[in-house]
Structure 1
Amino acid sequence: MRKLLLLTGLFASAIALGQGSPDYAGGLKVNINEDGSKYFRIISWAQVWAQYNGDKPLDANGNEQSEIDFSVRRARVLLYSQISPKFLIVTHFGLNSLNADGLSPTGTGEKSQLFMHDAYVQYNLGKTNKHSIGGGLHYWNGISRLNNSSTLNILTLDNFRQGWATLGLADQFARPVGVFAKGSFGKFQYRVSINDALTNNLSASAVPAADGPATYTGRRLLGSKKAGKTFAGYFEYNFLDQESMFLPYKVGTYLGDKKVFNIGAGFFAHPNGSVVADATGNLSGENVSIFAVDAFYDAPLGSGSAITAYAMYQNSNYGKDFVLGTTYETGSILYGHVGYVIPSAKPTKFQPYVSFANRQIDAIDDNATQFGIGGNVFLKGHHSKLSLEYQNLKYGEADAVGTVTLQAMIYL
């Protein structure tokens, strides 16, 4: 506990020296013409973690591992530009989860983690620009709000990992290469896409065993004609305030700045995305299908307080008894979280929260349960935030694992 308190003090000092500014509410905008209709905008953010886990197993050499680890959870730069209300270019690059094991001696080579997250073009249709089409490396995903989550304003310390249900399996870090359409009819919003599936995914070295579980290897083992395309969509109705669809990233908490109540439903389909082998080793494809329904509520409660609540049910079929680590599995998920902004006369805001997930896993005929409790300290809204969370994961019959994580985030 003394180590944890020391870390908290160090992170609080560091973030106080680099507070975000309201002047950067939409990033740094550079106008190209006098009226500002042609411009480009730059947004930058970084999230740094200190993580405590007292139950780590021995490493590969039989040595004890450190209980405290540091990492750069995210470091990103987002650039988007318009030369006309009809056209938009979005470029987004950065790195994720950089730690001592991922560093390289000179910052080059296969250990380097800097890569492109988004690179797409968009064309707005009609006189009102309420409907758009586009293509490239994009984040207009299906399934749920979580699978379209922004990392700038998540309520919990990080997004619920199983919510990014195709990350690394069918796409590059939740971004596929393909074409999309998005828009709104009144308070009804939609996003749909057709994409190429990832070939070298997290199951790149997997081979299905005879009469064994499925592996997510359809494009690699069956070919791109039979298993090369994925299809996704997400649809929601905004009962109260209308949320922006200018960029694909869904807000996690508005801190009471808007009054939002949405219900949504979405899907992801990958024909022959997974592969199984019969008793003689003959391969056949299995369709991957994921769908979800969810609800999101965010509203001020008066006197500076606010509530944020989210609930989701997701059914995931990655193929027969599919399991990959403790992250992906064929089965179902029930997830929810609730946060509350405590009234305060000072600019600093405090937001405690809780989260809970229950996953039913076909392959082990058992469940995984995950509980989290934590809080955010907003020094300058989302621009300067300090978060502390305890999370406990119980996976099947394995012992529960508890982790304490401290995060400092600055967003300009």
Structure 2
Amino acid sequence: MKKLILLTAFLSLTLINAQDSLQTVKQKETNVPEKNPLDIGELKLNIDSKGEKWVKVGINSQIWLRNIENNPGTLVNGNPQDNTYDASIRRMRVTMQTQLTPFYTVYLQVGINNQSFISGGGTGTGAFGAGKKPSLFFHDAYNEIAIIPRNNFYTGKPNINNLYIGAGLHSWNGVSRLTNASTTKMLAADIPIFNFPNIEVADQFARQIGVFVHGDFKRINYRLSVNKPFATSNTPVVGGAAVDNNKSGKLSYSGYAYYQFFEKEVTSVSFLSGNGLAKKKVLNMGAGFYSNKEATISQPIATVFETHNSSIFGADVYGEFPIGNKAKEMGLTLYSALYNYNYGPNYIRMSGLINPGTADPAFTGSRALEGAGNNRVLMGTGNILFIQTGFVLPKFSNVMKVQPFFNYSLKDMKALEQKGSYYDVGTSFYFYGQNAKIALQYSSRPLYDATTKKIFDRKGEFILLFQIVI
């Protein structure tokens, strides 16, 4: 771990010195203030003289280096391991948004996720090496029409209200701001994942297929959608918890809205920022929901099955506040959300991001209810409180900004006998605004005894993130 910290510090100091030296030389030569080197801009191609028709392309690359404390009884590639080092592609994506007419746009996102030395593989798995050649797939693919545009097409002036309608594979989600999170503007090294109530179960990487509307009504930003959830068909055990099984094929309904007290956000795409480096004064309060009838099923007694509705509610507050002298560019970011999940009796879901481990059948010690590797209790029927904060330190460089952060989650699941506290602490180093980021994070998770359903141990995980966004 010391090597990772030293590497981060070395990279940071090298970039600071190089950029500061370059700026000093340029200023001496011209004695004219330089254009801010942090403003990289966007990849946008206008295809008409008025700029009413255009194509935007985005690129996002996130690489992880990790040290994982594995849960008891973990095999990695067939060998018992207490600790595992790995390197992985957390996200690698390309986006394209095109406005064909002032009224009509198309949004596409394609890429891969979660590829490591042992997971995320496609055609190269098996005897030729696990984890190779993952398949590209569309994350988003939808069309959108402006009913009331943000700006008047004839005068160019902003409209007080706007309204858009669209259809396709989309992430105009309900429940909370985090359920609509931007993965390129995260406060920590990653998002907590329980913010996506159906992640990789009844959705495709937090997306469902359907129709949506979104827009602004004065200071209220809103989004609503009606979707066809992806099919699930798990079979419950007798007397066990509810499991995902939506064979009846009911539609899902979701929505989220927030009131903007100070500066307003522009939502030309579905993703909401979790971190703007506190450049603007922002305070938003929101609430949302997700509902799907007969989404899960249980078997209280043999051959007797009961269906259960899935209903999730969320309320949150998001704030960014510049602090002190503007020249210091300090700022505080705060976010808090409360989730209420109901998936049916004792429903619970475990997950470990890019989990390298499998269960060791020969292990004789105390096993965790969560399973092997870095699995944790993700979510289930019950409540979760999430609190997140970050502080941008006073400016000391023209290239880099430093932002320590802290996450805390309190999970109260009906299937467990004890509440669990989860936390992440770390520091992010930003270069060229938010186009480049290095983050070092430590995460701690409780482990539950498989028999008593109470906490008996804790494990941790170090993450070193390298991110480029254009």
Same fold (TM over 0.5): yes
Q: 1:341 aligns with which of 381, 392, 395?
A: 392
**Aligned amino acid, residue 149 of structure 1:** A
CA contact (8 A) 2:440 2:463 kept: yes
Is residue 82 of structure 1 aligned with residue 99 of structure 2?
A: yes
CA contact (8 A) 2:115 2:121 kept: no
Distance of 1:195 and 1:63 partners within structure 2: 43
Partner residue in 1 for 2:108: 91
Structure 1 stretches (4+) deviating beyond 4 angstroms?
A: 9-16, 19-23, 103-111
Partner residue in 2 for 1:352: 404
Q: Which moved more, 1:66-75 or 1:53-62?
A: 53-62
Deviations 1:74-96 (A, max 9, x none): 11111000022211100001111
Distance of 1:231 and 1:96 partners within structure 2: 27
Partner residue in 2 for 1:148: 180
> Structure 1 stretches of 5 or more lacking a match?
none
Cα shift at 1:147: 0.5
Deviations 1:357-409 (A, max 9, x none): 10001011221210111111111111011100111111442411111110011
**Aligned amino acid, residue 58 of structure 1:** T
Cα shift at 1:353: 1.0
**Aligned amino acid, residue 304 of structure 1:** E
Distance of 1:180 and 1:305 partners within structure 2: 38
Q: Which moved more, 1:111-120 or 1:40-49?
A: 111-120
CA contact (8 A) 2:115 2:134 kept: no
Aligned residue pairs total 401
Aligned Cα RMSD in Å? 2.6
Pair 1:211–1:195, CA change in 2 (3 A): same
SS for the counterpart of 1:59 is strand
CA contact (8 A) 1:21 1:383 kept: no
Is residue 310 of structure 1 aligned with residue 338 of structure 2?
A: no
Q: 2:301 aligns with which of 261, 266, 279?
A: 279
Normalised by the length of structure 1, the TM-score is 0.91
Partner residue in 1 for 2:460: 402
Cα shift at 1:8: 3.5
Cα shift at 1:65: 6.2
Distance of 2:383 and 2:147 partners within structure 1: 38
Q: Which moved more, 1:55-64 or 1:34-43?
A: 55-64
Distance of 2:390 and 2:136 partners within structure 1: 33
* Structure 1 segment 209-288 matched on structure 2, within 5 A: 209-219=237-247, 223-224=248-249, 228-288=250-310
**Aligned amino acid, residue 423 of structure 2:** F
Partner residue in 1 for 2:236: 208
CA contact (8 A) 2:447 2:458 kept: yes
CA contact (8 A) 1:15 1:384 kept: no
Cα shift at 1:62: 4.2
Cα shift at 1:285: 1.1
Pair 1:119–1:409, CA change in 2 (3 A): same
Partner residue in 1 for 2:46: 31
| Identity over aligned pairs, percent | 30
Normalised by the length of structure 2, the TM-score is 0.80
Cα shift at 1:10: 8.2
Is residue 41 of structure 1 aligned with residue 93 of structure 2?
A: no
Cα shift at 1:318: 1.1
CA contact (8 A) 2:210 2:226 kept: yes
* Structure 1 segment 86-235 matched on structure 2, within 5 A: 86-102=103-119, 104=121, 112-126=134-148, 128=159, 130-200=162-232, 204=233, 206-219=234-247, 223-224=248-249, 228-235=250-257
CA contact (8 A) 2:65 2:85 kept: yes
SS for the counterpart of 1:4 is helix
Deviations 1:80-131 (A, max 9, x none): 0002221110000111111011365865999624211000000111364710
Larger Rg: 2
Pair 1:14–1:72, CA change in 2 (3 A): farther
Pair 1:319–1:96, CA change in 2 (3 A): same
Cα shift at 1:337: 0.8
Pair 1:386–1:331, CA change in 2 (3 A): same
Deviations 1:263-287 (A, max 9, x none): 0000000100001123132222100
